[in-house]
A = this chain, B = another copy of it.
């Protein structure tokens, strides 16, 4: 592994002061700094706290970094992940860096063992997809001057947490207004999980577009999916069995939209003649569907590129403005929507 220095070596003076105040050896402080095992949780916490007090991250850090960008998925799944990976890989390569891929397995924050790995690998930066970090994980990364950026954060990140997203409210609004303009008034929505911010924002855009058109909101027309094909099938079946079934479904993701296609197909309902469908994401498979899917384009590859550029800037620049960036979304009209007849 080629190692490059960023700044001077760590200040031994700081380390020995921390060791003294924590009543441990310098080697224990060093273990904590490098994410090594053999330190009790209580000692680790005390040392971390003292490192923070001594502002170890500000003036004294001069750890070596590896030419790696670490990309963390909750779960590496589907066409969605590939578009992200492509963007990160491209920008990393332009900057002479390689990409390390990690699956954290948890939506809200990666497992405790993950952070130890990161501290050992010393990447130039960490990009987290649809995830978040615990306060102590954030602190551990900051202490080692390992910058991180969230893409499509699950919650509403603190203002000092760098993040890249897209205009989700706007996307939900555009999708719904398109259906309204085609004459639909019975428009259902299958949302993503309720605890994911981007999903809430899309739902809010849907409601705003209905309200703007004077169409009353119906709670039975809004149903929660999991952004996947299976939940699209299940939720669409329920919607299509309503006595007063919708004439249009905004599916909240392309995979859910493909699930709506299947529910319609097996019920003998023709798209777009009897049911209009709008997806969200514009994955490649949206244009491969039959009929090709009208959807909201979320520029996933560009978001990943921006996130990688941002994390690399955070590594070298003292002051970075615009820690949060939302890229634009737009409606792509294809064959799955048509005027209500």
Chain A interface (Cβ < 8 Å from any Cβ of B)? 1-3, 66, 68, 76-79, 81-82, 85-86, 89-90, 93, 98-103, 117, 120-122, 229, 255, 258-259, 261-262, 265, 284-285, 288-292
Contacts of A261 in B (CB 8 A): 288, 290
This chain: copies in complex: 2
On chain B, the residues within 8 Å of A103 by CB distance are 89-90, 93
| Docked complex Cα distance between A273 and B120 (Å) | 59
Q: Which residues of B contact A117 (CB under 8 A)?
A: 98
The contact sample of 7 A-B pairs, CB cut-off 8 A, is A2-B120, A81-B82, A82-B82, A89-B102, A100-B100, A229-B288, A265-B291
Residues of B close to A66: CB separation below 8 A? 1
Q: How far apart sit A290 and B86, CA to CA, in the bound complex (Å)?
A: 28
| Distance in Å: Cβ of A5 to nearest Cβ of chain B | 13
Residue of B nearest to A287 (CB): B229
Given A100-B100, A265-B290, A288-B258, check contact A120 B1 (CB 8 Å). yes
B residues near A284, Cβ cutoff 8 Å:
78, 229
For the complex, would chain A's binding face be called helix, strand, loop or mixed by DSSP majority? Answer: helix
Task: Tell me if B86 and A82 are in contact (CB < 8 A).
Answer: no
Q: Determine the distance from Cα of A224 to Cα of B1 in the docked complex, in whole angstroms.
A: 43
- Let me know if B82 and A77 touch, CB within 8 A: yes
Bound Cα distance A81, B85 (Å): 10
> Known contacts A78-B79, A79-B82, A100-B101; can you find 14 more A-B pairs with CB under 8 A?
A1-B122, A2-B120, A77-B86, A78-B284, A79-B285, A89-B102, A90-B103, A98-B102, A98-B121, A258-B288, A261-B288, A261-B290, A262-B288, A265-B290
Distance from A24 Cβ to chain B, minimum over Cβ atoms (Å): 21
Which of B77, B82, B85, B99 touches A100 (beta carbons < 8 Å)?
B99
Minimal beta-carbon separation of A176 from chain B (angstroms): 24
> Which chain B residue lies CB-closest to A3?
B1
- Provide the residues of chain B in CB contact with A86, threshold 8 Å: 76-77
Query: Which residues does chain B contribute within 8 Å of A120, judged by CB atoms?
Result: 1-2
Q: Which of B77, B78, B262 contacts A290 (CB 8 A)?
A: B262
Least CB distance, A82 to chain B, in whole angstroms: 5
